[in-house]
Amino acid sequence: MLVGNSQTRDYLSCLLAENNYFPLLMTDSEELLHALKGRQFAIILIDCSAVTSYGIRILSKIKVSCQRCRIIIFCDKQHLRDKSHRVLIKEVLDIGVYACILAPYQEWEVLSMFSYFP
């Protein structure tokens, strides 16, 4: 999990732990990429603030490091009012992320992303 917004990070961490999922919390993109090397599959949770901080290239780097990774982006609904964030979400989806979830994040939306794990 590479989530820049502390409220989102805390919410996701607690929700996942309550449901017996224990994500690795990464502090920077290089740490995440290093952890992904050699993995066949992983679910990556990343928020718009992290994508904005590290640039959209981080998603391409994740896909190169772990080709079958499922990338899930979390965005604040307020971002939809900002044209640059709408463009960012479109670019992210064009890259091939698995899903983009808009706040408020419903438990079922988040947990359904983990229902199929090869």
Handedness of CA 45, 61, 29, 89 (dihedral sign): negative
Q: Pick 118 or 33 by higher pLDDT.
A: 33
**DSSP-based three-state secondary structure for 34:** helix
Least confident residue range of 28-42, 49-63, 72-86, 97-111: 72-86
What DSSP character marks residue 2? B
Distance of alpha carbon 78 from alpha carbon 67, whole angstroms: 31
3-state secondary structure of 14: helix
Fold of 6-112: Rossmann fold (3.40.50)
Lowest mean pLDDT among 18-22, 30-34, 77-81, 100-104: 77-81
Q: How confident is the model at residue 111 (pLDDT cuts 50, 70, 90)?
A: very high
pLDDT at 114 over 90: no
Q: Which residues pair with 71 in a beta bridge?
A: 44
- 117 pLDDT band (50/70/90 cuts)? low
Q: What's the chain's average pLDDT? A: 89
Q: How does residue 83 score in pLDDT terms, banded at 50, 70 and 90?
A: confident
**Local confidence band at 38 (pLDDT 50, 70, 90 cut-offs):** confident
Length of the chain as a residue count: 118
**Among candidates 36, 61, 54, 50, which has minimal Cα distance to 3?**
50
**Residue 118 has what pLDDT?**
58
